């Protein structure tokens, strides 16, 4: 059964809402155990890096346990980048299904995240490409590549910013 635009949109909205609510357990459940979560950096030629194993990345987790570890550090309150935790608002747009199969699809969308912390309001924006799969009638993210286009930033970027 192929993926409908509505179910993909609703799934991605829900994932973004979990980040805004800091509902970490529900957010992590949206990901496969073998997910690749990658945010490449920009090289000197103004192109995104192409290989997280050989080039610098802004974030790279080759499996979900890396995301779980990041959530653990956020929850401890000992992460300087996350204390106090920011308030965020994720907005998604231009959702397009690029490939659509029976049990997997590839989607791309634009996003902007507004954030406030220490009385400073900021924003981040970019484009994300995801491979979604059906597992036991649930949609999960198998691969997520986040291209941060506003990469001149004033603070550490974390999972809740994108």
Q: What is the pTM of this model?
A: 0.93
CA dihedral defined by 3, 37, 47, 81, rounded to 10 degrees? 130
Q: Rounded distance, CA 116 to CA 110, Å?
A: 20
pLDDT of residue 79: 76
pLDDT of residue 84: 84
Whether the CB-CB separation of 157 and 124 falls below 8 Å is answered with yes
pLDDT of residue 96: 98
Q: What is the pLDDT of residues 81-134, one digit of tens each?
A: 777 888 999 999 999 999 999 899 999 999 999 999 889 899 999 999 999 999
pLDDT of residue 157: 83
pLDDT of residue 152: 72
Ordered domains of the chain (ranges, CATH): 5-161 (3.10.450.50)
146: pLDDT strictly greater than 90: yes
Whether the CB-CB separation of 162 and 130 falls below 8 Å is answered with no
Q: What is the DSSP letter of 159?
A: G
């Amino acid at each position: 059964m192929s993926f409908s635009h509505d179910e993909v949109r609703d799934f991605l909205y829900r994932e973004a809402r979990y980040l805004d609510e800091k509902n970490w357990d529900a957010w992590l459940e949206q990901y496969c155990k073998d997910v690749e979560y990658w945010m490449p950096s920009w090289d000197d030629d103004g192109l995104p890096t192409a290989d997280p194993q050989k080039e610098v990345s802004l974030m790279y987790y080759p499996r979900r346990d890396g995301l779980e570890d990041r959530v653990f550090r956020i929850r401890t309150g000992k992460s300087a980048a996350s204390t106090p935790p920011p308030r965020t608002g994720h907005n998604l747009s231009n959702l397009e299904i690029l490939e659509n199969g029976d049990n997997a699809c590839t989607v791309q969308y634009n996003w902007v995240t507004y954030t406030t912390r220490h009385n400073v309001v900021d924003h981040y924006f970019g484009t994300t490409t995801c491979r979604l799969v059906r597992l036991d009638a649930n949609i999960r993210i198998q691969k997520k590549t986040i291209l941060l286009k506003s990469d001149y930033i004033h603070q550490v970027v974390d999972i809740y910013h994108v």
